[in-house]
Amino acid sequence: MPTPWMPQALRADVGDHAPCDAEFPARAIAHITADREATAAAPLDLVPFANLKGFFTGGGKSRAPHVLWDPFTGAFAQFLPATSRSKALFDAAGGTRTNRAGKVVIQIEALFFPHCRVEGEVFARLVDTPCKGWADLHSWISSWGVPDVWPMGRPTSLSRNTCPADTWRTRGGWYAHGQVPENNHVDPGSWPSFAPRPGEPSPSEPLFEPFPGASFFQAGRRSPVIAGMHGRLVAVDCDRYASGTGIDVWGAGDVRSYTAWQQKLGFQDSEADGIPGRFSWERLEVPRS
């Protein structure tokens, strides 16, 4: 039996409950807080969870989602029960009732903005974060009958892709804020994959090497991961190597070549320092060794 309040969430009920429209299929809406504007060259510190919780229970009460999720710590705050509509979407008078159109319309604000900095590390996309707590959040939303589908496609960029009225009326599942009718936002930009259900097989092994951390890249480090990186840098026309020997050992040629890759991604000045970070590494797509 689904519970109106997520068991793992801190309950911060803002009141003003109102029913959803059960004529429409169950759905969930993915948002990011996007409360600061940062860039790869000028990252900014993530706003504390407590600040956003205070906003949604105070001056931002009229825009509160159901759940605020911190993907870095796995903390949750819930402002409205799943059985009530929230007000995180623009909802035009006489329109498609975006906040109500579903047996449930569960709205999640992930505490995130592109190029946010947490404990010295910068994260360009939501999926680059640890996504702690996602399995619990997904399980609770699924218990309300929201199917594991993105009718307009899983978001992969900050872009607008407005859902046709017929699709919105007839298809349940997950929608990005940037896909909801009547709205003009482009978030969330990315969203984690659906967690396996109990008894389901785990996803297959990833195709690419996960980011090993900046400290991995030390002078003289020998690893097949570095050889794979070397091959990719050559393939993407960032070859600044003096020779083709010692390709599995981190050295000055790797720094020069990786700097070229960072510059190709738009990093400038000291940001293009030749040391891999999570954002640039994941875009390089180094094959698993």
Strands (E) across 132-265 are located at: 173-176
Residue 267 in 3-state DSSP?
A: coil
CATH-assigned architecture of domain 10-179: 3-Layer(aba) Sandwich (3.40)
Residue 167 has pLDDT above 80, yes or no: yes
Residue 40 has pLDDT above 60, yes or no: yes
Q: What is the CATH number of domain 214-284?
A: 1.10.101
Domain boundaries along the sequence of the chain: 10-179, 214-284
Residue 166 has pLDDT above 90, yes or no: no
The terminus-to-terminus CA distance of the chain in angstroms comes to 45
Confidence of residue 269 (pLDDT cuts 50, 70, 90): confident
Paired with 29 in beta bridges are 107, 175
CA distance 112 to 230: 32
pLDDT tens, position by position, 68-97: 999 999 999 999 999 999 999 999 988 889
pLDDT tens, position by position, 89-143: 999 988 889 999 999 999 999 999 999 999 999 999 999 999 999 999 999 999 9
pLDDT tens, position by position, 236-266: 889 999 988 889 999 999 999 999 998 888 7
273, amino acid identity? D
**Is the whole model's pTM more than 0.75, yes or no?**
no
User: Which of 259, 95, 89, 269 has its CA nearest to residue 178?
Assistant: 89
Buried b (16+ CB within 10 A) or exposed e, 154-191: ebeebeeeebeeeebeebbbbbbbbbbbebebbbbbbb
